[in-house]
Amino acid sequence: MGSILKFLAPTDKKKCKGCGQTKNAEEFYEQRRQCKSCISKQMKEYYQKNREKIIARNSAYYHEYVRTDSAKAKAEQCKL
């Protein structure tokens, strides 16, 4: 059988595994052990450390999918 999930009310408290503070459940994402502010800090630190790699990956995605899709859409409109 599957596990039973406990749903927390916004007034329930949880302890953050990142900062160790006890906070309201609404300050956490579902199924996360760290509060939103700790996760935000981690994401900012990761971006700063890996900025060039992230920019290169996003640029490659844009040029492969977004740009080609918009060019295809324009070509389809011209044919009509």
Helix 36-49, helix 51-61: angle, nearest 10:
90
Per-residue model confidence (pLDDT) at position 1? 42
Residue 48's pLDDT is what? Answer: 98
pLDDT, position 67: 74
Torsion of CA 36, 57, 66, 44, to 10 degrees: 20
| Structure-block tokens of residue 11 | 């007034």
How would you write the pLDDT of the chain (80 residues) with one tens digit per residue?
444 445 666 678 999 999 999 999 999 999 999 999 999 999 999 999 999 999 999 999 998 888 776 666 666 666 65
For residue 28, which phi and psi values (nearest 5 degrees)?
A: -120, 150
Phi, psi for 29 (deg, rounded to 5): -75, 155
